[in-house]
Structure 1
Amino acid sequence: MPEPEAALRTPQGVPYADLKHFVNADGQHLFSRYWEPDGPPRALVFVAHGAGEHSGLYGEIGQTLKEQSLFVFAHDHVGHGQSEGDRMNIKDFQVFVRDSLQHIDLMKGRHPDLPVFIIGHSMGGAISILTACERPNDFAGVVLIAPMVRMNPESATPFKVFLAKLANQIAPSLSLGSIKSKWISRDQKQVEAYDADELNHHGGMRVSFATQLLTATEQIERQLPAITWPFLVLHGNADKLCDITGSQMMFELAPSKDKKLKVYDGAYHALHHELPETAGSVLKELTGWISERLPAPPSQSS
């Protein structure tokens, strides 16, 4: 018999009944966060976090946009943070997309007349791209921070891809090693905070999960020539975790008439947690870009 909801707890032992959450199509509880403005919101903004991390790392973005009268919301993906699921293991990458659309639909149900934006970082960038591709007319814009558009060319040669798929058939639970936190940011304080955060996954990535990421990037590459929705891509040219050539390829191949690529010289992967000057620029860039695409506020009658 399934456990009653009152007894269900996060991986950290907190009852879901005490936390904001929603239940996905597989019956899994996904921990959720909301940054709701004090007055009427002008738009909805969904934030998709990256592999091995959690939605709590986007508090500064959420708070900043909230102060611009935007209603920001996010959840910990299955197998991440305070959500249910085997840690960083998933049967199909599409589950991330499906859950994102479910959360977006829940919020649109409460605010049906508001435009919807998506912000995605790293793996969350891949989720964001595939989510917007599934419903190309539903989103006012997509902001991608160091998105996973393609696998690192050095690790995704045809032979290595063949070996990865073969390993997935033979030993899907085999660990490929953990994410190297030193490549997250040039700001040592941010690296130390990442390492100390118990909600981040500090263990190894399984072959099965890596294969799902590979499948997602292959799907994105097929979709690029059909992307017409507005997007902003921010990427550091010293990023060793998500290759910048993927962002450049997306910018070149997507026929969208409203697209922008901004490259941060020398910056690492988590641009929003980079050195203060870079992180501040990223926050200003994404806030300004979204603000420019908002409907005009209703005129105040005297």
Structure 2
Amino acid sequence: MGEWWTKFIGKLPNAGIFYPEERWLKLSSYNGKKLWTYRFHRKYPKALIFIFHGMFSESNDTSHIAKFFYENGYAVFAIDQEGHGRSQGNRGLIKSIEELVSDSEKYVLLTKEHYPENTPIFLFGISLGGTIAGQIAILQSDIINGILLFAPALGLREDFEPLAQKLIQCLSLLCGCFHLSKFDETLSSRNSLYIEYNEENPYSYTGKMNISTAAAVLTGLKMLQKGLIRISVPVVIVQGGNDNIISYEESRKFIEDCGSEDKEFWFYEEMYHDVLFEPEIEEIAYRALEWINCRLASNYLLK
């Protein structure tokens, strides 16, 4: 990383914090692209935590939360999805959520082989990463001990349905090169430097969304919604009341409908969409730490 980030130190929570190991595990995507992997390593961790970033974001946006959990005894991992961060692929293009899920699932399975057998595994999903984490929890329920989803892309606001969805699907079929309007990033965070940080970050994509990407995301959301009843692992959703992308009503409905018997909904009235950059993140981090520690203790007592 260059020196562009130094002026944000002390102003954005992740600025100046980086995963100490990059490309520690050689991994290729479903489409044969080289993927960038990251970790905070402990030889004998309490558990393995995987963090999946949001759409058009990158793993070092999550470095502060990763460092926090590492300092509390965990090994923490991240991956730049194809076309994101430092991984290969077309910037701003997502061909299929299923492909991202496949890449992420492979990363989890390969990583666990480097650690003691039966080490617990928890997944963190940020926005679109929440969709990915939810799908992995369905596919690998036998090895996943819990998922924490931060403003997850699990359902769109009601004013985005159903006409807009049909229009996107049709345009994607006609010509995938169309683009939607550029997203207003002031809707993502109350931190006034958030937009400037993203614009200067060479590993973030801030252009217009390709219509094919929008269609792929919509398809991925529908897939997860159909599989709700199959989510059996402990789950937490962290959601803000001022999220202008994901409706908190949709997130609350998701937590009510999912199949897990151990589920919680943490609601913060003033919080915007990008939870990791919001003022409440320190409180949320400690709360998440306590949640994981409690489930590890419960698992230990059951053995």
Structure-1 residue corresponding to 2:282: 280
TM-score (norm 2): 0.87
Structure 2 contact 92–207 (Cα < 8 Å) conserved: no
Deviations 1:78-113 (A, max 9, x none): 110100111122332101100111110111111132
Tell me, yes or no, if the aligned pair for 1:181 and 1:195 is still in contact at 8 Å.
no
| Alpha-carbon separation, structure 2, partners of 1:89 and 1:153 | 25
Pairs within 5 Å for 1:213-252: 213-252=217-256
Secondary structure of residue in 1 paired with 2:178: coil
Which residue of the other structure, out of 146, 152, 164, is the alignment partner of 2:151?
Answer: 146
> Quick one: distance in 1 between partners of 2:293 and 2:274?
22
Question: Residue 25 of structure 1: CA displacement?
Answer: 3.9
Query: Is 1:261 the counterpart of 2:265 in the alignment?
Result: yes
1:77 equivalent to 2:112? Answer no
SS at the partner of 2:193?
helix
Q: Is contact 2:50-2:77 (8 Å) kept?
A: yes
Q: What secondary structure, in the 3-state scheme, does the structure 1 residue paired with 2:152 have?
A: coil
SS in 2 for 1:110: coil
State the match for 2:15 in structure 1.
Answer: none
Residue 295 of structure 1: how far off its partner (Å): 4.8
Residue 58 of structure 1 pairs with residue 66 of structure 2:
no
> Given that residues 151 and 238 in structure 2 are in contact (C-alpha distance below 8 angstroms), is that contact kept between their aligned partners in structure 1?
yes
- 1:24 is matched with which residue? 29
Separation in 2 of the partners of 1:293 and 1:226?
20
TM-score by length of 1: 0.87
CA, structure 1 residues 161+19, in 2 after alignment: closer, same or farther (shift >3 Å)? closer
**2:296 is equivalent to residue 294 of structure 1:** yes
Q: Give the 3-state SS of the residue equivalent to 2:220 in structure 1.
A: helix
Shift of 1:31: 0.6
What do the CA deviations read for 1:222-270 (whole angstroms, capped 9, x no partner)? 1112222100110001101222222111111113111100111111011
* Matched residue, 1:171: 175
The answer as to whether partners of 2:96 and 2:217 remain within 8 angstroms in 1 is no
Report the equivalent of 2:3.
none
Partner of residue 101, structure 1? 105
Q: Which runs of 4+ in 1 moved over 3 A?
A: 18-21, 295-298
Counterparts of 1:213 and 1:287, CA distance in 2: 30
The amino acid across from 1:122 in the alignment is S
Identify the residue that residue 208 of structure 1 maps to in structure 2: 212
Question: Corresponding residue for 1:4?
Answer: none
Same amino acid, percent of matched pairs: 25
**Residues 138 and 232, structure 2, Cα contact 8 Å, conserved in 1:** no
In structure 1, what residue type is equivalent to 2:263?
A: K
1:186/1:26 CA distance change after superposition, 3 Å: same
- Asked if 2 retains the 8 angstrom alpha-carbon contact of 1:45 and 1:70, the reply is yes
Q: Structure 1: any 5+ residue segments left out of the alignment?
A: 1-17
**Partner SS for 1:294:** helix
What is the aligned partner in structure 1 of residue 275 from structure 2? 271
CA distance in 1, matches of 2:262, 2:68: 24
Q: Which residue of 1 aligns with 2:40?
A: 35
CA contact (8 A) 2:96 2:220 kept: no
Q: Is it true that 1:181 corresponds to 2:185 in the alignment?
A: yes
What aligned pairs does 1:108-147 form with structure 2 within 5 A after superposition? Answer: 108-111=112-115, 112-147=117-152
| Aligned partners of 2:65 and 2:285 also within 8 Å | yes
- Closer, same or farther: CA 25–217 of 1 in aligned 2, 3 Å: closer
User: Which residue identity lines up with residue 281 of structure 2 in the other structure?
Assistant: A
